[in-house]
Amino acid sequence: MHDPVLLKTILSNFSPSPGNNFIDCTAGEGGHTIPLAKAVAPNGKVLAIDADSEQIANLKSNLEKEKIENVVSAHGNFKNLKQITAENSFPPADGILFDFGFSSWHIENSGRGFSFQKNEILDMRYDPTDKSIPTAADYLNSASAQDLEKIILEFGEERFAHNIAREILYARRKKTIETTQDLVNIVLEATHSRGKINPATKTFQALRMVVNNELEIIKYGLFAALDVLKPKGLIATITFHSLEDRLVKGILKEWAKQNIGEVVNKKVIKPDYIEIKRNRRSRSAKLRIFRIL
């Protein structure tokens, strides 16, 4: 199973006890959901949300293995947190967790082209059942050069964004872009790069963010959380890159100014050396915690 990032710190801050209720907005396979559910049993519950129905199936199978019965799982986007909570008649929560982005399962098993390390169809949607969302390939084959350059620069912080956007246009005139390998070839052609990091890393990140509208949705999710928390309830957020972290930090700071609550950890919390050694994915994680009034 996915190794849950900063689990001990989340648990020590949430201090879950029997009868409490928590919401995990990004449940994945249940790395955080399951320990929370165990701690609040028998009368407390966890509402476990994930946009990916396959992840909800993975979660359910893990819950069965662990014989856990106090988790309400919901396939949905956390931008609709209020609605999902109401539909499930879930009580005001003691704490809400957001562990943003994708999980290792997406890279290793989803087959949706989240990584340049595997040659797969470029889909990148967390929720492929939502046909209103264009796939990464749809976006690459239809966006204007200006839009491509803008998102690669903004979401990928990629200095070769201009060249990559031009190369995408050039490549798609010859052949529809379909696979991760198609995109890797385009980026290699555009950057002639021989750096340590694969030159496609930033472009893949940008594309995933635009396909899933990630930054915009973080805002919706955080604001919705305010409405479904108990007084003195906690919001914990784990981000994985500077754009997400800057956005969350700004919102929490503004809330503190408006007296909506207080930032619990003045300094951002990061995994220690031992966790990073065990779980490389955690190396860029940043945890922020906010308590409402």
Query: In 43-80, which residue ranges form alpha helices assigned H by DSSP?
Result: 53-65
Helix axes 53-65, 33-40, angle to 10 degrees: 50
Distance CA 212, CA 218 (A): 11
* CA–CA separation, 183 and 164 (whole Å): 10
Largest pairwise CA distance in the chain:
61
Stretch that binds ligand SAM, among 44-52, 156-164, 185-193, 269-277 (CB under 6 A): 44-52
Contact characters 139-158, ligand SAM, x per CB under 6 A: --------------------
From 29-37, 66-74, 245-253, 264-272, span contacting ligand SAM (CB under 6 A): 29-37
Site for ligand SAM, residues 73 to 92, rule: CB under 6 A: 77-79
The count of other CB atoms within 10 Å of the CB of residue 123 is 20
Which position's Cβ is nearest ligand SAM? Answer: 31
| Assigned token pair, 106 | 């997406």
Q: How many residues bind ligand SAM (CB under 6 A)?
A: 23
Coil, strand or helix at 52: coil
Quote the least distance from Cβ 3 to ligand SAM, whole Å.
Answer: 7
Q: Is 99 annotated as a binding residue?
A: yes
Q: Is the Cβ of residue 4 or residue 95 nearer to ligand SAM in the bound state?
A: 4
Choose, by CB under 6 A, the member of 16, 28, 95, 233 that binds ligand SAM: 28
SS3 category, 267: coil
Binder among 44, 101, 199, 233 for ligand SAM (CB under 6 A): 101
103 near ligand SAM, rule: CB under 6 A: yes
Decide: residue 128, CB within 10 A, 0-12 exposed, 13-18 middle, 19+ buried. Answer: middle
Asked whether residue 30 is marked as a ligand-binding residue, the answer is yes
Choose between 79 and 286: whose C-beta lies nearer to ligand SAM.
Answer: 79
Which residues are CB-contacts of 192 (< 8 A; sequence separation ≥ 6)?
Answer: none
Task: Pick the binder of ligand SAM from 29, 94, 244, 275 (CB under 6 A).
Answer: 29
Instruction: Give the pairing type, strands 21-24 and 93-99.
Output: parallel
Q: Is 78 annotated as a binding residue?
A: yes
Tokens standing for 135? 């796939």
217 binds ligand SAM (CB under 6 A): yes
Annotated binding site for S-adenosyl-L-methionine: 30-32, 50, 78, 99, 106
Residue ranges that bind ligand SAM, judged by CB under 6 A: 2, 4, 25-26, 28-32, 49-52, 55, 77-79, 99, 101-103, 126, 217
